[in-house]
Amino acid sequence: MKEKSTPITMLTAYDYPSALACSSNSHVDITLVGDSLAQVCLGYKSTTELSLAEMIHHTRAVARGTTHPFLVADMPFGSYQISLEETARNAIRLIQEGHVEALKLEGGSEISDIVRKLAGMGIPVMAHVGLLPQRHVSMSGYKVQGKDVEGAKRIVRDALALEEAGAFSIVLEAIPKELATYVTQRLRIPTIGIGAGPHTDGQVLVWDDVMGTWAGHKAKFVRRFGNIKAERDSAIQSYAEAVKLRTFPDENSESYSIDKAVWDEFM
């Protein structure tokens, strides 16, 4: 797809229905069980709170709803830091128990040994550079990366090192569009951008941002393609009102009745 300049579409999914929805559209190429699962589905403050067990629980559901898109999951924080051996064991769990096909890991050249290890085991690894949400504390928040010369150089060095280590693709998160374009040209593997401008090989967004399931803070790079929140809130309002007014359920069209003879005998 990179060679043919066909944009790659990636969308997150966290459960069976969102996975089915990704699979029902032939233009979604990759379904990602992102660790954004932590915030958007489980109510955690940060992705660092998500456990491997929680991730596996959700990837199993997503896998049951996934047909065509390539299925990738984030390795949660803590599941690939301790040792190569433990990383390999956790990666195998995500594949055997979680039924995903590929894994995504956040980090630069400092994780190239880990990427090399997993790629060497035959696991497709998606790298992730730029803004790294799992490191939001040490990075002093969720900020655009690579805006100074040193930072920009480091991102290029990291991307090249990760490609060299065997990553099949790389997410570029929240970096200037010029830098993302340059990295995309320098790499043989496809780049998937989020907040990285229009010239990456593909784009990824979080399910809830695409659907507009909530109306809170919207990052600059997010476009809400739907307005599910308005639709959902009005459905809840109508349902609750109908119950209070006793207009739901309808006496006839929405209720069952018993045969009169049977009822007479019963009474």
Interface ranges with ligand KIV (CB under 6 A): 12, 32, 34-36, 74, 171, 194, 204, 206
Binding-site partner at residue 206 among Na ion, ligand KIV, none, CB < 5 to 8 Å by type = ligand KIV
The residues in 183-222 that bind Na ion, with binding defined as CB under 5 A, are: none
Of the candidate spans 73-81, 172-180, 183-191, 235-243, the one that interacts with Na ion by CB under 5 A turns out to be 73-81
**Residue closer to ligand KIV (CB basis): 36 or 112:** 36
**Which of 171, 168, 182 is closest to 130 using CA atoms?**
171
Residue 66 CA: distances (Å) to CA of 95, 151, 203, 224:
14, 38, 19, 23
Closest CB to ligand KIV among residues 104, 117: 104
Residue nearest to ligand KIV (CB): 34
Task: Please give the DSSP secondary-structure letter assigned to residue 224.
Answer: -
Residue type present at position 104: K
Considering the candidates 49, 86, 173, 241, report the single residue annotated as catalytic. Answer: 173
DSSP per-residue string spanning 78-126: TSSSS-HHHHHHHHHHHHHTT--SEEEEEBSGGGHHHHHHHHHTT--EE
C-alpha–C-alpha distance, residues 188 and 173, integer Å: 18
**Distance in Å, CB of 173 to ligand KIV, minimum:** 6
User: What is the spatial distance between Cα 200 and Cα 142, in angstroms, rounded to a whole number?
Assistant: 21
Residue 15 interacts with which of ligand KIV, Na ion, none, CB < 5 to 8 Å by class: none
Candidate ranges 6-14, 28-36, 113-121, 185-193; the one touching Na ion (CB under 5 A): 28-36
**Considering the rule CB under 5 A, would residue 35 count as an interface residue with Na ion?**
yes
* Residues between 221 and 250 with contacts to Na ion, criterion CB under 5 A: none
CA nearest neighbour of 170 among 198, 134, 143, 200? 200
Q: Contact 24/33 with Cβ under 8 angstroms? A: no
Amino acid at 253: S
CB 26, min distance to ligand KIV, A: 21
Measured CA to CA, the distance from residue 141 to residue 251 in angstroms comes to: 56
Active-site residue, 110 included: no
CB of 192 to ligand KIV, least distance (A): 7
The distance of closest approach from Cβ of residue 61 to Na ion in the complex, given in angstroms and rounded to an integer, is: 18
Nearer to ligand KIV, 65 or 133 (CB): 133
Bridge partners of residue 8, in order along the sequence: 202
Catalytic residue positions, numbered: 173
Positions in the binding site for Na ion (CB under 5 A):
34-35, 74
